[in-house]
Amino acid sequence: MTYRVIALDLDGTLLTPQKTILPESLTALQRARDAGVKVVIVTGRHHVAIHPFYQALTLDTPAICCNGTYLYDYHAKKVLESDPLQPQQANQLIDLLDTHNVHGLMYVDDAMLYQAPTGHVLRAENWAKSLPESQRPVFRHVDSLREAAHEVNAIWKFALTDEDTTKLKNFTQVVEQELGLACEWSWHDQVDVAQIGNSKGKRLAQWVESQGLSMSQVIAFGDNFNDLSMLESAGLGVAMGNAVDEIKARADLVIGTNLETGIAETIYKHLI
């Protein structure tokens, strides 16, 4: 099989815990691009929160953001395709968040909005402040997410966090049963809530087909449950060594952790 696309999750996969890209990965990905392979970021992140990585990779492909909710063209600075939440759906979710005392970020347009400065929010803001201003994502405090939901153009997703993961797991069941929205774990203590039907795998397949290619020609790298849809539909689905066992069991290949050079080694073995 000749692979023509490399699909990369960011957190826990391409990125180290310090939010850097290993130099070995950068070199291998550049060599793959020089050989004509397309490299695409497929992330749970907002497009405003991947600037430093997109630029480090010097990509020319659009980015798949918020677990497949939308496809973003960095060079044209516009959304190409999207399936956002509707304001009414957002309000129903906000009602449940208030009832169950769960906090979350609301990803909209070009920013991430929050009411309560949770530990997750503060860590994300501190990371943002460490970046050059041109690469800095926007986190904005609002008095009311409910009001903000009616003032924005698009609501991409909600990122919910809680140290009590049992509470969070139970809450996702309520959201799925009562609202019919999609809940995907993107970190050990984070669940993303988005429009039903959105997934990394679905949006990636649409883009791959638009390039005249098929998913059998894709190598996808990931580490968490929100990556399963692309790992299982790619020609070669690669799980990181730091992934949970359920992800490893459903991948075609398991490599080293995001602190090791497995991504580069896999590229050299299968593409170059």
**5-82+198-270 belongs to which homologous superfamily?**
HAD superfamily/HAD-like (3.40.50.1000)
Query: Is residue 268 classed exposed, middle or buried when 0-12, 13-18 and 19+ CB atoms within 10 A define those classes?
Result: middle
Residues tagged active-site: 9
Give CATH 3.40.50.1000 domain extents, the chain.
5-82+198-270
φ/ψ (deg, to 5) at 236: -140, 110
Hunting for tokens 């480090």 — which residue is that? 56
Q: What is the pLDDT along the chain (272 residues), one digit of tens a residue?
A: 699 999 999 999 999 999 999 999 999 999 999 999 999 999 999 999 999 999 999 999 999 999 999 999 999 999 999 999 999 999 999 999 999 999 989 999 999 999 988 888 888 888 999 999 989 999 999 999 999 999 999 999 999 988 899 999 999 999 999 999 999 998 888 999 999 999 999 999 999 999 999 999 999 999 999 999 999 999 999 999 999 999 999 999 999 999 999 999 999 999 97
Alpha helices in 152-221 (DSSP H): 165-179, 200-210
The helix (run of H) or strand (run of E) holding residue 123 is helix 119-129
The encoded tokens of residue 5 equal: 């696309």
DSSP annotation of 37 reads -
- Report the alpha-carbon distance of residue 112 to residue 104 in Å, rounded: 10
Cα 218 → chain centroid: 18
Q: CATH assignment of 87-194, given 3.40.50.300, 1.10.287.10, 3.30.1240.10, 1.10.10.10?
A: 3.30.1240.10
For strand 111-114 and strand 103-108, is the pairing parallel, antiparallel, or unpaired?
antiparallel
- CATH 3.30.1240.10 in the chain: give the residue spans: 87-194
pTM: 0.95
